[in-house]
Amino acid sequence: MATGLQRNLTPATDPPAGPGAAPDPAPDAGPAVVSVRGLTRAFDGRPVLADLDLDVVPGEFVALLGASGCGKSTLLRVLADLDRGIEGRVTVARRRAVGFQAPRLVPWKRVWRNVVLGLPGRPDRARAVRALEEVGLGHRTDVWPKVLSGGEAQRAALARALVRDPDLLLLDEPFSALDALTRIKAQDLVAELWQRHGCAVVLVTHDVEEAVLLADRVLVMEGGAIAHDLPVDLDRPRDRSAPGFVALRTELLALLGVGAH
């Protein structure tokens, strides 16, 4: 399992950071890849995250559920260090990678060059090929992004994230634009790669079944805070028709305000 944190846990006695604070570095590795205390984020005076606390341990798969506007994607952006207009304390892993709803491939670069884009040093073709082979795209190494299907483009984006050997992988609804069959295949691939790499994952999703299928723990957000924290104590690989799976899915739907009908 990958180790090493850029920002270790901040002692509880430390005062909270003020507006505009970013995650603070610390000298030693701590036990968590994510530790959030009192996180608050507001836009034009409207709070989107409100005094939120969160811990994610190494290798843990956490899914975030909640209605649109509850703060899921904002939280993910804060963890990715893409939003610094915050109050509170956020500590995150040094090596982290992000997968977005759109693949965000650069159209004028071959697929392999997209995979290693942004890495230090000269583009490492061999490293890109290994990552692409891992997601089943070894045969698409030299093509242009425009010829990829939607599922292939998302797999290329996943290879780009994993080639960075992250301690923390942040996924913001990466399967939302895929058709149902491709989505199932992509979910299975993520589960396989997560178990192989051992990194922690935080997944934002609107799909309750997807959350139960993949996560060790499902968090339901309401009003900018974590309202419910449910462990997923089901054996892997998971059977969507198993009574325990169905029961947890039903419980989560009820917490989200969706009745049995």
Please classify residue 170 by burial: count the beta carbons closer than 10 Å to its beta carbon, then call 0-12 exposed, 13-18 middle and 19+ buried.
buried
**What pLDDT is attached to residue 84?**
86
Pinpoint the alpha helices (H) of 55-179: 72-79, 111-115, 125-134, 150-162
Give me the CATH topology for the region 31-95+166-261. Rossmann fold (3.40.50)
229-252: average pLDDT: 95
Segment 123-182, tens digit of pLDDT: 899 999 999 999 999 999 999 999 999 999 999 999 999 999 999 999 999 888 888 999
31 or 227, which is more confident? 227
pLDDT averaged over the chain?
87
Whether 200 and 61 have beta carbons less than 8 Å apart is answered as yes
Distances (CA, A) of 228 to 195, 219, 232: 25, 6, 13
Q: Which of 246, 183, 248, 188 is CA-nearest to residue 217?
A: 248
* Confidence at 196, pLDDT banded by 50, 70, 90: very high
Radius of gyration of the chain (CA): 19
Q: Which of 213, 214, 200 is CA-nearest to residue 79?
A: 200
97-101, 173-177, 202-206, range with greatest mean pLDDT: 202-206
- Residue 118 CA to residue 79 CA, distance in Å, equals 19
**What pLDDT is attached to residue 29?**
41
- Reported in sequence order, the residue ranges of 147-191 that DSSP labels E, i.e. its strands, are 168-172
77-81: average pLDDT: 94
Segment 18-75, tens digit of pLDDT: 444 444 433 344 579 999 999 999 998 888 999 999 999 999 999 999 998 899 999 9
7 or 132, which is more confident? 132
**What pLDDT is attached to residue 260?**
56
Whether 38 and 87 have beta carbons less than 8 Å apart is answered as yes
Exposure of 25 in the CB half-sphere (CA atoms within 13 A) = 5
**What pLDDT is attached to residue 261?**
47
Whether 215 and 184 have beta carbons less than 8 Å apart is answered as no
Q: Which of 216, 180, 172, 13 is CA-nearest to residue 83?
A: 172
**What pLDDT is attached to residue 177?**
82
- Residue 141 CA to residue 130 CA, distance in Å, equals 10
* Confidence at 11, pLDDT banded by 50, 70, 90: very low
**What pLDDT is attached to residue 8?**
35
* Confidence at 1, pLDDT banded by 50, 70, 90: very low
Does the pLDDT of residue 194 top 70, yes or no?
Answer: yes
**What pLDDT is attached to residue 207?**
94
**What pLDDT is attached to residue 56?**
97
Whether 235 and 229 have beta carbons less than 8 Å apart is answered as no
192-205: average pLDDT: 95
**What pLDDT is attached to residue 163?**
94
Question: Could you check whether the bond before residue 237 is cis, i.e. omega within 30 degrees of 0?
Answer: yes
